Structure 1
């Protein structure tokens, strides 16, 4: 077994003119801490006119080359490592390469151990600037999709009905069981909680109105949109992102095909059809869950439940809830497809953008629902 090389040494030889900065021993990562102790006392003692001598260095790697070049910082890079027969060409090339890299990139910025108020404000500003940039890009992507859709409406022969029907099956038909189950259970919970509170006031009959108002105006479309934001937006991002990673989108452009028309329009149209239909199913399922609880706990029969629903609840509440579905569908499809096109060539990028599409979709849906609720309330709708 070979004995390890002794840790490196360095000293300034002032007996020559000009002075020489001599290095010896092993300058590798294994003895990095000892080398730091060697370099610290010499940092301010190296003259700019000194010559370097590394002929006695027994071992060298990039970590040692970086320390040597850091110690030689006062010496100009052009004169730091002249050609020498006493130094192997590979070692000389390493020293020169590290010196050029340090000149190009400089010293690494030290990590801050404490964050000041200005740092927090700067971080908040960066986040807000990122949100604004994301909003601008989303609006631009939405305009591109609408322009492509308008062009496609004028040319029915270019409609891709096979892709559209496949997307409707995936986004709509396959989502019916989970949407129905969830909204049925939420309707039952709302009815049970409403009955529990209203019983103290002797107004349990208004549980029907509570369930009807909540599901026709809000819960039906909101729960469905949130489910599709998690289920469909993520699928859109993963599908298009995988195509981006495999360079299939670039291949489509090479063939003269428009990726927006081929990949985005069928998904947007499918969700515009599926979400209103699923919202209607969610409203019915929520009302059925509320009717079941009313029948079991409040002795309100299904016939009486339907009679109260018909006499107390205007049709406009149903229309208000259903009118929000196409808006939510367009936004969810837009975010899912846009995040898919932003994927780079790695699996980690696919995962991060899929997560981002779900978060953005749910956030935007809830914000739009809140704004719509305020608008309809002010309009007395």
Structure 2
């Protein structure tokens, strides 16, 4: 008796093409003949099961599929094989597994409409989340003892203190790049002394706060989404609600407060480090003494440039914190969702910060702070 599934193809009586299946046609033995039988191009009139020693549901389905594809009949099936073939045949379904692909002219507008629809629902959910935050703040104002001071201090350390090295290094290098590239271009006009103006204004007004917000979004915003998302999966947030603790008050508000206040300090710190980097390059390349560069910054940079940066900083911090916490609270289902929501939190925060920065640039220019 054969121990592996096999088959032969020959001519039978009346010139009919007969496919003879041999051996056990079971889930464990059918793999070695599966590809060969699927590639058969010859017309088959009869599938003969006389030499099939054993058969299970998979083998019966395989025989039925062959018979259907080649419009062949099945003969010499045993009593067990006949019962399985009948059961499998009755469960056959010719319905397409996947929906037909729509034409491009239909598919593209439909996809765009779905995106717009999802964006509308997303805006409604974000507004609702912001409302929850306002309600939580009002509740904490009425009951200040419920505010988690230790959690806020921990977030101050995580968002602010621990970020000082990377933000300082990044800002220092950005200041070097701005001063070096600016000096190269300004030297062509004999105006390399204006490198001080370039570095001072662009860092204090724009790049210092903007690059800090991007770094905080990638570092702390992603951490917020991952931490809160993991707590959602492990049902810790549901447990908080069960015992009467508001997740917004415990998890969201301390993180938002830390982001808002630390963005002001980190933005100013980043601007100072960028100016120091520019001063170093100017001392080396342009012959402008280090301390002279710093004193010139005080003379050429108007005070309102500093205020522009400081006004934008808390708004950017609020956006980064809200994005991370919101996406973390939206986690559903499985651990893969944590990664997806973390990515969305970073992308959403950076995109919104850049859009708001463009708005602020137009607004402050319009009020005479250009």
- Using the size of structure 1 for normalisation, the TM-score is 0.77
**Aligned twin of 1:4:** 24
1:57 aligned onto 2:81 = yes
Q: Does the C-alpha gap of structure 1 residues 30 and 124 become closer, same or farther in structure 2, counting only changes over 3 Å?
A: farther
| Alignment correspondent of 2:68 | 39
In the TM superposition, residue 307 of structure 1 has moved relative to its aligned partner by 3.0
Q: Which residue of 1 aligns with 2:119?
A: 131
Q: Which residue in 1 is equivalent to 2:318?
A: 330
1:313-352 deviation line (CA, Å, top 9, x unaligned): 1100010011011111111111111111111242211111
- Residue by residue, what CA displacement relative to the aligned partner does 1:94-147 show, whole Å, maximum 9, x if unpaired? xxxxxxxxxxxx7533453x7512101211221222222222211221121122
Q: Secondary structure at the match of 1:343?
A: coil
After the TM superposition, which residues 355-366 of structure 1 pair with which residues of structure 2 at under 5 Å, given as runs?
Answer: 355-366=343-354
Aligned CA RMSD, in angstroms, stands at 2.8
Secondary structure of 1:210's partner? helix
Report which stretch shifted further, 137-146 or 192-201: 137-146
Asked whether 1:177 is paired with 2:165, we answer yes
Q: 2:10 corresponds to which residue?
A: none
- Does 2:90 align with 1:68? yes
CA distance in structure 2 between the aligned counterparts of 1:311 and 1:27, rounded to whole angstroms: 89
1:264 aligns with 2:252: yes
Aligned to 2:98: 109
CA contact (8 A) 1:27 1:65 kept: no
Alignment-derived partner of residue 307 in structure 1: 295
Structure 2 vs 1, CA of residues 138 and 313 (structure 1 numbering), >3 Å: closer, same or farther? Answer: same
Counterparts in 2 of 1:338 and 1:60: CA distance versus 1, 3 Å:
farther
User: Compared with structure 1, are the counterparts of its residues 110 and 327 closer, same or farther at alpha carbon in structure 2 (3 Å cutoff)?
Assistant: same
SS in 2 for 1:4: strand
- 8 Å CA contact retained: 2:25, 2:56: no
> What secondary structure sits across from 1:201 in the alignment?
coil
Does the CA-based 8 Å contact 1:339-1:353 persist in structure 2? yes
**For 1:73-112, what per-residue CA distance to the aligned partner results, in whole angstroms no more than 9, with x for missing partners?**
8xxxxxxxxxxxxxxxxxxxxxxxxxxxxxxxx7533453
Q: Deviations over 1:196-234 (max 9, x none)?
A: 000000000111111111111110110000001000011
Deviation at residue 27 of structure 1 after TM alignment = 7.3
8 Å CA contact 2:25–2:59 kept in 1: the answer is no
Task: Report matched runs for 1:194-209 at 5 Å.
Answer: 194-209=182-197
Aligned length, in residue pairs: 321
> What is the SS of the residue equivalent to 1:338?
helix
Consecutive unaligned residues in structure 2, runs of 5 or more? 5-22, 31-48, 73-77
Shift in Å, 1:240: 0.8
The equivalent residue for 1:192 is 180
Change (3 A) 1:31 1:110: farther
Q: 1:360–1:30: structure 2 CA closer, same or farther, 3 Å change rule? A: farther
Of 367-376 and 255-264, more deviation after overlay is shown by 367-376
1:346 is the counterpart of 2:334: yes
In the alignment, is the contact (CA less than 8 A) between 1:191 and 1:293 conserved in 2? yes
Residues in 2 aligned to 1:177 and 1:120: alpha-carbon distance in whole angstroms: 46
What is the SS of the residue equivalent to 1:202?
A: coil
**Alpha-carbon shift at residue 356 of structure 1 (Å):** 1.2
* Rounded Cα–Cα distance in structure 2 between residues aligned with 1:331 and 1:60: 62
CA distance in structure 1 between the aligned counterparts of 2:178 and 2:232, rounded to whole angstroms: 44
